[in-house]
Amino acid sequence: MGETILKMQGIEKHFSGVHALKSVNFDLRAGEVHALMGENGAGKSTLIKVLCGIHKKDGGTIEYLGKEVSFHNIGESQDAGISVIHQELNMMNHLTVAQNMFIGREFMKNGLIDDKAMEAEAQRQFDKMGVKINPAAKLGDLTVGKQQMVEITKAISRDCKLLVLDEPTAALTLPEVEELFKIMNELRDKGIGMIYISHRMDEINRISDRVTVMRDGEYVGTVNTAEVTKDDIVKMMVGRVIMGEQKTCSTCPADADVILEVKHLNAGKEVKDVSFQLRRGEILGFAGLMGAGRTEVARALYGADRRQTGEIYINGKKTKIKTPEQAVKNGICYLSEDRKRYGLMLDKSVTDNSAIASVDDFIQGGLINDKKMRNMSAEANAKLRTKTPSMEQLLKNLSGGNQQKVIIARWLMKNSDIFIFDEPTRGIDVGAKSEIYTLMDELVKQGKSIIMISSELPEVLRMSDRIIVMCEGRKTGELDISEATQENIMQLATMREEN
């Protein structure tokens, strides 16, 4: 690692009476990957926005490349060589790769945009990075991983000296994660400093040189990654040690009633003859690689997507479910992996988001009893320890973990019997994960049943009583938790159908 290229000291930030950053310190060296960690709401994103000029700091100093700076907007920080790769990419899918890379700085010829010249320069940049992407391809046709590589290459083409990666692997496949880490190591060798924000502990141990931890807007400390354990970092983040060992035996009685049975479910090319049972008080894990068809099974079961064939039995009775409304009436709720697209109303309040599925329960004399709705919403969110200034707070102002809790509160209010959790902890911190795990355990103790889809094998092994494994739309295996290992799950997850 080289000389210090960034030094932030005593950074302060207030929002409408909320003390968001309290004398925060952070520094970055050339050729270093410095992880920035903390629970949702710890202040990580606010600190980055202060650095980039999106927010104006209320106190403290920022030194960049040896000079004190105060950027007024993101354009100024980009011109200075600071680039941010956000978790949710802000790109234009209808334009080509090259057009996206040079947006706002297009190559011109005779008063017209010179696409050929931009494609040639984009190809040159990709060759330097060792990335195989067609500059003339439409960006929307690329995988998320390739789109991310476009953003990184775009940043490097602007003579980037400091790169911020915010949850970069959240939507990537394992091969794409490997490709990302390869690129990051090459950038490190070139002396580029990187701030890496992630909740995935295994990644932090593997890719970072140092870790800085924040908690409740305050600086907790900075440690060398090689000198600390995962538990050390977690304790810094949440102020306590969170244990999470693999479940060794099922907590669901062997003679528990079958509450849900799915027979020979088929839905397009993604779901092929899938059958399974779910027992009362059981957590049934669904494992598999991305594209295995797990989400498609959940959506077909929930009535969100059309199924060609298949039978659904609830408590032994054959049930017709063609729409989400019919699923909800039959006691099934679904928490989508894409909560912002399918689960949240970001411009509505916490109360509105919590109560939307139960509005009929609050109608008295043709009018909605707002007080009752607000009180029950508050009670459900209190059980989950949702952090919000008030129940009238707009959901878009809450952290990702707290947004997830609001969706869970919605279905607690509806008193559903079958919960489908699709990637329940994606994008949320270790503390919030622990709280959601505790909630899931409490739900099954109450006799609720859970289908949990997760791409994180440690999560599947920690929570499940049984595990269904899928590959290319087919069920390739079923394991009791007592016999499940990461190795035999991965064997089943890669068991392709023989032609």
Query: Is the Cβ–Cβ distance between 334 and 327 less than 8 Å?
Result: yes
Residue 426, by phi and psi: left (phi above 0), alpha (psi -120 to 50) or beta? Answer: beta
How does pLDDT run across 52-101, given as a tens digit for each residue? Answer: 999 999 999 999 999 999 999 988 999 999 998 876 667 788 999 999 99
In a domain, 244, yes or no: no
pTM of structure = 0.60
Which residue, of 210, 238, 266, is where some domain finishes? 238
Is residue 133 domain-shared with residue 185, that is, in the same domain? yes
CA dihedral of residues 113, 119, 125, 129 (deg, nearest 10):
140
How does pLDDT run across 274-331, given as a tens digit for each residue? Answer: 999 999 999 999 998 777 899 999 999 999 999 899 999 999 999 999 999 999 999 9
Is residue 66 domain-shared with residue 195, that is, in the same domain? yes
Is residue 104 domain-shared with residue 209, that is, in the same domain? yes
In a domain, 350, yes or no: yes
Instruction: Give me the domain span that covers residue 161.
Output: 4-238
* Domain containing residue 328: CATH number: 3.40.50.300
Reply yes or no on whether the pLDDT at 412 is more than 70.
yes
In a domain, 112, yes or no: yes
Identify the three-state secondary structure at position 195. strand
Is residue 275 domain-shared with residue 134, that is, in the same domain? no
Q: How many structural domains is the chain composed of?
A: 2
Is residue 171 domain-shared with residue 216, that is, in the same domain? yes
How does pLDDT run across 330-368, given as a tens digit for each residue? Answer: 999 998 876 667 678 889 999 999 998 888 888 888 888
Which residue, of 238, 266, 297, is where some domain finishes? 238
Is residue 267 domain-shared with residue 225, that is, in the same domain? no
Is residue 216 domain-shared with residue 324, that is, in the same domain? no
In a domain, 78, yes or no: yes
Is residue 311 domain-shared with residue 393, that is, in the same domain? yes
Is residue 418 domain-shared with residue 478, that is, in the same domain? yes
Q: Are strands 418-422 and 367-368 parallel, antiparallel or unpaired?
A: unpaired
In a domain, 498, yes or no: no
Is residue 187 domain-shared with residue 327, that is, in the same domain? no
Which residue, of 184, 209, 238, is where some domain finishes? 238
Is residue 286 domain-shared with residue 172, that is, in the same domain? no
pLDDT at 499: 43
C-alpha 151/C-alpha 157 separation (Å) is 10
